[in-house]
Amino acid sequence: MINARRYLAQALLYALFFLPLVYLSQQPDYRHMDEHMAVLKLAVRHAGAIIGECTALSEADFANLPANMRRPEVCPRERSPLQLELIIDGKLLYRETVPPSGLHKDGISSMYRRVVVPAGAHHVQLLMNDNVAIEGATWQLDQNIQLRPTQVIVASFKEGFRLQ
């Protein structure tokens, strides 16, 4: 009789623990975005152009260098920052200058941005300048897209922009 009461009490305690757990796992309904919206993700990792030109060393400067550092010319390491713009349907949604990484600003520039837009037809323009010596965009994407509700589309860069 004591064992039956013990098992009954144990079953009641388990039920009291699991019922709220089951309820909270089913309610409330979670939606990560509205049903009539879509997401455009912009992800860019790119090394900008090297800023400056290589300079030739004179004979005297070349001779003054230690043997392990002797090179006929010295080249800069610093890279240009990326200037990015995202324009959807003629409206500027994102503009930023992304600096290069690294202690000497000689690494890759990286950025990520998530933009929620209404589903439907859109005209997307991505403009990027990776060379401070050139005015205007050196890379661009100009494309019409059709977004379905809750669709996620990624704009990435590798030797040019692409949407996938």
Segment 108-145, tens digit of pLDDT: 999 999 999 999 999 999 999 998 888 989 999 999 99
In the prediction, which pLDDT does 27 show? 80
Helices within the chain (DSSP H only): 2-26, 59-64
Model pTM? Answer: 0.73
- Taking residues 72-101, report their average pLDDT: 90
117 vs 2 pLDDT, higher one = 117
Answer for the pair 94, 115: CB distance below 8 angstroms, yes or no. yes
List the helix and strand counts (H, then E) for the chain.
Answer: 2, 10
Task: Note the pLDDT of residue 43.
Answer: 93
Domain range for 7 is: 2-163
Domain count, the chain: 1
Q: Is the pLDDT of residue 23 over 90?
A: no
- CA atoms of 131 and 51, how far apart (whole Å): 8
The tokens for 98 are 């992304």
Residue 90 CB: number of other CB atoms within 10 A?
7
Pairing of strands 109-118, 37-46: antiparallel
Residue 1 has pLDDT above 80, yes or no: no
